Structure 1
Amino acid sequence: MLEGVFMTGWGGRIRAVVGAACLFIGVVGCGEAPQPPLTVGINTWVGFDPLVLARDRSMTDRQTIKVVELISSAEALRHLRNGLLDAAALTLDETLRLADSGFDVRIVAVLDTSSGADVVLAAPEVRSLPELRGRAIAVEEATVGTLVLERLLQKAGLTSADVSVVKMESTQHLMALRSGRVSAAVSYAPIEGAIRRAGYRRIFDSSQMPGEILDVLVVRGEVLRRRPAAVDALLNAWSGGLSVLRLDAPGAAATLAPGADLTPRDYLEVLKGLRFFAPDESLLLLTGPAPELVRLGQPVADTLMGLGLLRQPPNWAALIDSAPAERAPQSGLLP
């Protein structure tokens, strides 16, 4: 059962995660049970907020699509595996590892890419990347953090043997830096803002690894086959929320920032570190004899294999399903 949890994201947004039993409508009399809403799981991340906007501004029928907000992507992955979610917004690396485990999941949209939202911050005495040698670096127990750290070390001309990697939750990074336990931390917006304000400086960010940190929308293979209309509605919900965010970013920030424990101005700053893909751009990434997503994703897969996080190369043809995107109305959104 999907546990009922009241959660706080980034210290502010209180979200109710509704029990799975509440997602289903019972059979009345002898009639056929109506279809439950398609459930899509998201964790607290600005890049997934178009779905929050679509829900909160009633841009989608709640009997068709139910947005379930969870504490972490690990929860989203667990509930997806257990059949309690039909779809989820995940990072590409998480998706690759999920598919590598044998789970039948398909990418139906590319949502956004981090272009500076993921960062490495260091103590003032670290004046250059090579000076990280022999020092401790904090990183979350998450694939994205591992990927950013790997690219940082490559740029510094170091290997993991040259540093001490300390796994800890991102909320503990500032305390670890202040205590001297670590000299640097792999973080992300908006958490990194508090670290910067405490005097630690950015020495590396995801703008230096373009296209490698991608968020995608995935759907379970069985759901994609059985409920194509609901999947289409999900893509339309994302597109509608994204349109609101792009056409009225200040208004959207005013709505969403308090829940993210940010000021509207800080929320808009976080958005600068993300690049969202319009529906037509996402479609281009998913289609063609050699989809652009494969070109962007293969280096990520190669790195994950080198780190022992993937057992075999991805089967991109089985992983990508562009049919829902091809059915969706395309719109040129504002840049």
Structure 2
Amino acid sequence: MKRFARCVAVAAAVVLAAAVQVSRPAEAAAKKTFKVGYNVYVGFMPLNFMQSSGIMKTWSDKYGVDVQLVLINDYVAGVNQFMAGDLDAVALTNMDQLVMPAAGGVDSSLFLITDYSNGNDAIVSKTAKSVKELEGKDLHLLQFSVSHYLLNRALVLNGMKLSSVKTTNISDAEIAAAFVTQPAMEHAVAWKPMVPDMVRGAKGSGVIFDSSQIPGEIMDVVIAKTQTLKDSPEFAKALVGAWYETLGKMKAGGAEAAPLETAMAAALGTDAAGLKSQIDTTHFFLTAQEAADFLTAPKTKDIWDYVRTFCFEQGLYGQGADSVDSIGIQHPDGSVMGSAKNVKVRIDPSFTKLAAEGKL
């Protein structure tokens, strides 16, 4: 009898525990955490405000997740952390999605486009007044970066080839000071905030080509592993929803935008004028509809073709790649540019479309 009574008691306790468990609110369950890495760049600074203002938390709570936006001081290290699985998503350029995760065998999806460079990246020269005058000259730049891509596109648009010039590698941390202090360094390719310092600091220098002449080609995006989005779409919904709430403040301007602008300037280490200078040459997609239209436009396919061709020609696909088609890029219409058997880049506007339709 005692043994039977003990079994009944245990059974009753289990039933009671189950009832308590069922009655607990959903919030009591542990939320799944997602980490998104980004670095200091004007196009990514709204992420900083989303975290500090609580906007990200509000959207995270709505979808029952915990999205943490993490500032990574070293850009390349951040992308490597994403590839290794230490970050669930990362902010980077479209070109770097192709030559780092994709070339490294990681299947990733672009699910948010933040902006494109619209003058932030530029060729600066102390002596040349046009791109054609760069024939046979040496240009300093961060090799195999978007600066290298910008130079290539400038040359192509002027009927020249990359082989028409010489390039010397230099880090982004050194380029501005070197350009100003070294008379022999006459031509360089860089981006803001270095470019204005270079033009001001080196007498007679000026911008002879910038990214506003190739609109949309240098994109800033947020990517996640494709499987992550399949398994946890609520993560992307929370991030995209928070992003467009924040961009709504920027679009509104005035008093509504003031806290965002103050936070962005502080994060960039500049003042209001410096921030305006950077925003003026950055094309933010201020509405989800504009972003969705861009991602699905036929012209955007052409951009990806320019980018992949440059990357392959520079050997950025890796030693095993024998063709520009070695890596597949899947577009929103389902078509694949390159290998359908090795799709590693996917453009996924579905979450942005939900935002545009007011369904987040």
TM range (shorter): 0.7 to 0.9
For residues 11-70 of structure 1, the C-alpha deviation after alignment (integer angstroms, 9 at most, x for no partner) is xxxxxxxxxxxxxxxxxxxxx972342111111100011211211111021762100111
Paired position in structure 2 for 1:261: 269
Q: What is the TM-score when the length of structure 1 is the normalising length?
A: 0.81
For residues 307-330 of structure 1, the C-alpha deviation after alignment (integer angstroms, 9 at most, x for no partner) is 332344332245122332333354
Cα distance in 2 for partners of 1:233, 1:159 equals 44
Contact 1:136–1:163 (CA under 8 A) maintained in structure 2: yes
The answer to whether 1:270 aligns with 2:259 is no
Question: How far does residue 180 in structure 1 lie from its aligned partner after superposition?
Answer: 2.7
Paired position in structure 1 for 2:347: 320
Of 181, 186, 204, 2:209 maps to: 204
- Rg: which structure is higher? 2
The answer to whether 1:51 aligns with 2:47 is yes
Counterpart AA for 1:135 = K
- From the superposition, tell whether residues 111 and 292 of structure 1 become closer, same or farther in structure 2 (CA, over 3 Å): farther
Contact 1:54–1:240 (CA under 8 A) maintained in structure 2: no
Which secondary structure state, in structure 2, belongs to the residue aligned with residue 328 of structure 1? Answer: helix
> Paired residues, what number?
297
Cα distance in 2 for partners of 1:112, 1:165 equals 28
Q: Which runs of 5+ in 2 are unaligned?
A: 1-27, 335-342
Paired position in structure 1 for 2:130: 128
Cα distance in 1 for partners of 2:91, 2:113 equals 10
Cα distance in 1 for partners of 2:139, 2:357 equals 43
Counterpart AA for 2:112 = A
Contact 1:109–1:286 (CA under 8 A) maintained in structure 2: no
Of 78, 84, 94, 1:82 maps to: 84
Paired position in structure 1 for 2:10: none
Which is worse superposed, 173-182 or 52-61?
173-182
Cα distance in 2 for partners of 1:292, 1:237 equals 28
- From the superposition, tell whether residues 129 and 66 of structure 1 become closer, same or farther in structure 2 (CA, over 3 Å): same
**Identity rate, percent:** 25
Paired position in structure 2 for 1:188: 191
Contact 1:119–1:206 (CA under 8 A) maintained in structure 2: yes
Which is worse superposed, 169-178 or 85-94?
169-178
The answer to whether 1:110 aligns with 2:113 is yes
- From the superposition, tell whether residues 323 and 165 of structure 1 become closer, same or farther in structure 2 (CA, over 3 Å): same
Contact 1:139–1:165 (CA under 8 A) maintained in structure 2: yes
Contact 1:109–1:283 (CA under 8 A) maintained in structure 2: no
Question: How far does residue 156 in structure 1 lie from its aligned partner after superposition?
Answer: 4.6
Cα distance in 2 for partners of 1:39, 1:293 equals 28
Of 157, 164, 167, 1:165 maps to: 167
Contact 2:120–2:192 (CA under 8 A) maintained in structure 1: yes
Question: How far does residue 255 in structure 1 lie from its aligned partner after superposition?
Answer: 2.5
Which secondary structure state, in structure 1, belongs to the residue aligned with residue 174 of structure 2? Answer: helix
Paired position in structure 2 for 1:309: 316
Cα distance in 2 for partners of 1:300, 1:133 equals 23
Contact 1:145–1:187 (CA under 8 A) maintained in structure 2: yes
Of 244, 258, 261, 1:239 maps to: 244
Which is worse superposed, 39-48 or 306-315?
306-315
Which is worse superposed, 229-238 or 294-303?
294-303
Question: How far does residue 253 in structure 1 lie from its aligned partner after superposition?
Answer: 2.6
Paired position in structure 2 for 1:284: 293
Cα distance in 1 for partners of 2:249, 2:51 equals 12
Contact 1:114–1:275 (CA under 8 A) maintained in structure 2: yes
Counterpart AA for 2:161 = T
Q: Which runs of 5+ in 1 are unaligned?
A: 1-31
- From the superposition, tell whether residues 292 and 155 of structure 1 become closer, same or farther in structure 2 (CA, over 3 Å): closer
Computed over aligned residues only, the root mean square deviation of the Cα atoms, in angstroms, reads 2.3
Which secondary structure state, in structure 2, belongs to the residue aligned with residue 241 of structure 1? Answer: helix
Counterpart AA for 2:134 = L
